[in-house]
């Protein structure tokens, strides 16, 4: 074990899987110089032009490269540097890679991973700050991953690269430089399994991405008031591990769901609805949702700060269900 940032953990997962399996390659914009966030740093020198492939500035084309390569037996990792740019590649992602196996009666295998970076980052403005994970959770045929720390990032990405199905792997930009202990050796985490990050008895907070870190800080703060908070990170948004979430809610009888994406139609809405559908008799208060306002992400730093959901919004949701003064 050694302490690594999420960026370093992602880089290590890619490196180790490329060393293990010659069919794995990376394609994307600027990946030969390490990619926009350093997740491919040093890989071009080690693996060369044929396996670290710089592409033109066309997300549609580079995703198409991945779909075709996966269909004939390779295992591509397609880097789309900013999540907002997936809009350009949606035909390939939604109509091709998500549906091909189904439409060909299971005869095709699509072992492709699309990696991208989501969320607010230092006034990057509306076209570079999106959190669009709920779009992909709505598409049958895709697995959608969103780790909150370096350990989960390495284990989930390794599992994604080894998986025979299309996977969208989403890193939150504000998690990339956070650090924790991560095994140096390759390891894979099971997809579709949530993790209880903190055990509690009075309230369940289900959070994704950077909001997991905020939720854990809120839980520590509330512990000083005698309130015991359980924090769950789904890690895999599709398939979603509702059993772990429901077991927690049945124990605590209260739930807050928090994510950075726009609150309207976010993944939190699905989680809240399923809690209400499947654990209504256990609830002592309505399920509360925390998310961004229904507006594009502003550029101005003060407005961006007001836009971004975090600890204050989670605490307000806890107050609204009657657990704090």
pLDDT per position as a tens digit, 219-254: 999 999 999 999 999 999 999 999 999 999 999 999
- Residue 185 annotated in active site: no
> Which residues does 107 contact at the CB level (< 8 Å), separation at least 6?
101
pLDDT score at 190:
97
Alpha carbons 97 and 112: distance in angstroms, whole number:
8
The model's pTM is: 0.96
Please, what sign has the CA dihedral across residues 142, 265, 207, 173?
Answer: positive
2-182 shares its CATH topology with 195-320: yes
Give the H or E element holding residue 32: none
Write the DSSP symbol of residue 222.
H
Alpha carbons 50 and 52: distance in angstroms, whole number:
6
Residue 63 is encoded by which pair of tokens? 């995703």
Tell me the CA distances in angstroms from 31 to 39, 115, 257, one per residue in order: 8, 12, 35
pLDDT score at 325:
56
Specify burial of residue 306 (Cβ count, 10 A radius: 0-12, 13-18, 19+): exposed
**Largest Cα span, the chain:** 61
Please, what sign has the CA dihedral across residues 7, 198, 134, 164?
Answer: positive
Alpha carbons 88 and 306: distance in angstroms, whole number:
29
- Residue 79 annotated in active site: no
Residue boundaries of the structural domains of the chain: 2-182, 195-320
Alpha carbons 320 and 235: distance in angstroms, whole number:
26
Give the residues of the chain that fall short of pLDDT 70.
Answer: 325
Residue 153 is encoded by which pair of tokens? 């990032």
Q: Note whether 170 and 114 are within 8 A (CB).
A: no
Q: Note whether 119 and 176 are within 8 A (CB).
A: no
Alpha carbons 48 and 260: distance in angstroms, whole number:
37
Query: Class of the 2-182 domain?
Result: alpha beta
Active-site annotation holder among 59, 79, 195, 304? 59
Active-site annotation holder among 128, 195, 230, 259? 128
The CA-CA-CA angle for residues 235, 258, 225, to 5°, reads 110
Residue 189 is encoded by which pair of tokens? 């985490």
pLDDT single digits (tens) 77-131: 999 999 999 999 999 999 999 999 999 999 989 999 999 999 998 899 999 999 9
pLDDT score at 244:
98
Alpha carbons 160 and 169: distance in angstroms, whole number:
8
CATH architecture of the domain with residue range 195-320: 3-Layer(aba) Sandwich (3.40)
């Amino acid at each position: 074990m050694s302490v690594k940032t999420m960026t370093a953990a992602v880089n290590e997962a890619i490196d180790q899987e490329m060393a293990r399996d010659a069919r794995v390659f990376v394609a994307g914009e600027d990946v030969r110089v390490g990619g926009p966030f350093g997740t491919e740093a040093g890989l071009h020198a080690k693996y060369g032009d044929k396996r670290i492939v710089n592409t033109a500035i066309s997300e549609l084309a580079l995703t198409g490269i991945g779909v075709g390569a996966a269909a004939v037996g390779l295992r591509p990792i397609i880097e789309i540097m900013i999540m907002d740019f997936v809009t350009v590649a949606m035909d390939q992602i939604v109509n091709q890679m998500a549906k091909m196996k189904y439409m060909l009666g299971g005869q095709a295998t699509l072992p492709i991973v699309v990696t991208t970076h989501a969320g607010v980052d230092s006034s990057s403005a509306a076209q570079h700050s999106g959190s669009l994970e709920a779009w992909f959770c709505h598409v049958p045929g895709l697995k959608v991953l969103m780790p909150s720390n370096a350990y989960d990032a390495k284990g989930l990405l390794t599992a994604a690269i080894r998986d025979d199905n299309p996977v969208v792997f989403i890193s939150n930009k504000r998690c990339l430089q956070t650090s924790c202990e991560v095994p140096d050796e390759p390891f894979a985490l099971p997809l579709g399994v949530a993790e209880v990050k903190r055990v509690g008895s009075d309230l369940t907070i289900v959070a994704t991405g950077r909001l997991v870190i905020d939720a854990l800080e809120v839980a520590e703060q509330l512990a000083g008031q005698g309130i015991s908070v359980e924090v769950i990170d789904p890690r895999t948004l599709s398939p979603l591990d509702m059993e772990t979430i429901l077991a927690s809610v049945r124990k605590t009888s209260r739930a807050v769901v928090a994510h950075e994406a726009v609150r309207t139609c976010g993944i939190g809405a699905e989680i809240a609805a399923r809690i209400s559908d499947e654990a209504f008799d256990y609830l002592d208060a309505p399920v509360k949702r925390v998310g961004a306002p229904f507006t594009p992400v502003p550029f101005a730093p003060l407005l961006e700060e007001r836009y971004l959901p975090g600890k204050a919004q989670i605490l307000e949701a806890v107050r609204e269900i009657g657990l704090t003064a």
